[in-house]
Amino acid sequence: MSEESIRAERLKKLDLLKAAGMEAYPVHTARDCSVADFLASFEEREQSGRQAKLAGRVMSLRGQGGILFTDLFDGTDKVQAVIQKDDLDDALFALFSNAVDKGDFIEVSGVAYTTKRGAKSLKVSAWKMLAKSLSPIPDEWFGLKDEEKKQRERDVAILLDHELRAMFERKSKFWNAIRQFYIARGFTEVETPVLESMPGGADARPFATHHNALDIDVYLRISCGELWQKRLLVAGFPKVFEIGRIFRNEGQSREHLQDYTQIESYEAYADAEYGKKFLQDLYRHIAKEVYGKYTFEIGEHTVDFADEWKVIDFSERIQKEFGLHPLTCSEEEAIAVAKDARIVFTETPNKSRAVDHLWKKIRKRISGPVFLTGIPVFLEPLAKRHKDNPDTVDRIQIVMAGSEMGKGFSELNDPLDQRARFEEQQKLRDAGDDEAQRLDTEYVSAMEYGMPPAFGFGVSERLFSFLENKPIHECQLFPLLRPRIE
């Protein structure tokens, strides 16, 4: 039977409910416990005969004649409900038989009851419709097989795929574990603007829109409030963090999306060296709280968070692999070596992009977790220079399973140096690099009031997708897709 025919039949059942005086979509339910709570107290309820009112979705219907069985799922657990003609009013039993379908939400009243086969059940004495479904849900055992349909009909896919549902429950635990870690260490959770007149805090292409009330062009943020959070350090907050959505109008891949969630944090009177221990503790906390383990198989890599985290020097590794030293080479040399390494530039070639691409070729072979250090100043306009080598910044980047998995650094708090670096970034933009950062004079002005030394850090939900060993779009509840062509 086609879906159109099934829908037509179910519309007729709406008329049956109406004729019987039963609402198909009532406002109120008298549900007094969840299925999980009912099963947890099952033995006591069966002995005492205490009534229960449950509500949930009909996941299956079976039986015939004077006895019917349905599996009821309410999001907490699943339980069998037994509907016997002898236990219900004849009209009510007949209405159930003729009007209830798989996918409907119903309320059932009754007592705990163990069947002859030992199944913990609810023996139903009354029922009512809560929401009549008009479209059929696929068979629970086979679910949705088409991968694109799984992405488009996420609600049905999650309903039928218990592992998919469990993954999103783990994702909730992932962010809660991070939040708990920060709050336990005295951080204040903040919210910073999502719409900005000037995007900053990252090298990325923004989404642009227009603010009608103010009649100005604005951008969706490309970082999780980095410059705003550092202004809060100026304001006297010693420890702040934000978990929020960011937007980058760039390419899409197994580990890149255009809108995703990120954590960023800033701690006054701390630096990158302090950050190493802090981040090891954070990642181990996430692994233990969410997964109960420290070792993960991710693609071709084995990653063990309990291992010693080694340190890799950025320039030394590039020189070893390509014979090019990022700190002393010319722009022409960097571009030539990158092209020899078969790198295809999707942006205007310059030294920064060439060196960054060379590193990314190396990174793919690193299992980690490791700390990457020694990054050139020209690749990080917001980090403080390293005291032992002012051509590099005091930054640590976590690398694992061949990818960047978090970045932190000693924050630049010298307003003159910050202005000079912003001006260099603006020159790159003017030369055609639309991912270079803008000259943010308001941020520099705030810094001139005095900003304490601080350690800043950020990591996105890419970390979660890697721990799950899945493409990042599969780890989002509702990934953005092109509209379906009818």
User: Going by CATH, does the domain composed of 3-137 fall within 2.40.50.140?
Assistant: yes
> Which residue ranges does the chain devote to CATH 2.40.50.140?
3-137
State whether residue 267 is helix, strand or coil.
strand
Q: Which pLDDT score is estimated for 65?
A: 85
Question: Strand pairing partners for 455?
Answer: 267, 410
Name the token pair of 348.
Answer: 């205007």
**Complete edge-to-edge strand list for the sheet that includes strand 195-196:** 195-196, 216-220, 208-211
Query: Alpha-carbon dihedral of residues 145, 151, 153, 159, nearest 10 degrees?
Result: 70
> Which residue ranges does the chain devote to CATH 3.30.930.10?
159-186+235-243+264-309+368-475
Higher per-residue confidence, 319 vs 484: 319
pLDDT in tens, 336-349: 999 999 988 877 78
DSSP string, 74-98: -SS-EEEEEEEGGGS-HHHHHHHHH
DSSP percent split of the chain into helix, strand, coil, nearest 5: 35, 25, 35
CA distance 322 to 318: 6
69: phi then psi, degrees, rounded to nearest 5:
-130, 140
CA distance 220 to 472: 21
Which residue, 244, 256, 309, is CA-closest to 283? Answer: 309
Neighbours of 117 (CB within 10 A): 7
Strands 385-386 and 259-268, sheet pairing: unpaired
CA distance 78 to 36: 8
Q: Which pLDDT score is estimated for 25?
A: 97
Residue 237 has pLDDT above 60, yes or no: yes
36: phi then psi, degrees, rounded to nearest 5:
-60, -45
Mean pLDDT for 17-21 is 96
Strands 67-73 and 78-84, sheet pairing: antiparallel
Tokens 């009031």 locate to 449
Which residue, 54, 45, 48, is CA-closest to 82? Answer: 54
Q: Which pLDDT score is estimated for 276?
A: 96
Q: How many CA atoms lie within 13 A of 235 on its CB side?
A: 11
Mean pLDDT for 108-126 is 95
pLDDT in tens, 312-324: 999 999 999 999 9
pLDDT in tens, 44-87: 999 999 999 999 999 999 988 899 999 999 999 999 999 999 99
CA distance 31 to 34: 8
pLDDT band of 423, cuts 50, 70, 90: confident
Q: What is the mean pLDDT of the chain?
A: 92
pLDDT in tens, 128-160: 999 999 998 887 555 556 677 778 888 888 998
Q: Which pLDDT score is estimated for 143?
A: 54
Q: Which pLDDT score is estimated for 145?
A: 63
pLDDT in tens, 176-209: 999 999 999 999 999 999 999 888 777 788 999 9
User: Of the ranges 158-172, 200-214, 318-332, 449-463, which one carries the lowest mean pLDDT score?
Assistant: 200-214
CA distance 407 to 223: 12
What percentage of residues in the chain have a pLDDT greater than 70?
98
Residue 16 has pLDDT above 70, yes or no: yes
What percentage of residues in the chain have a pLDDT greater than 90?
78
Neighbours of 147 (CB within 10 A): 10
Q: Which pLDDT score is estimated for 486?
A: 61
For 53-73, b/e burial (b = at least 16 CB within 10 A) is bbbbbbbebeeeeeebbbbbb
What's the CATH code, domain 159-186+235-243+264-309+368-475? 3.30.930.10
Q: Which pLDDT score is estimated for 253?
A: 86
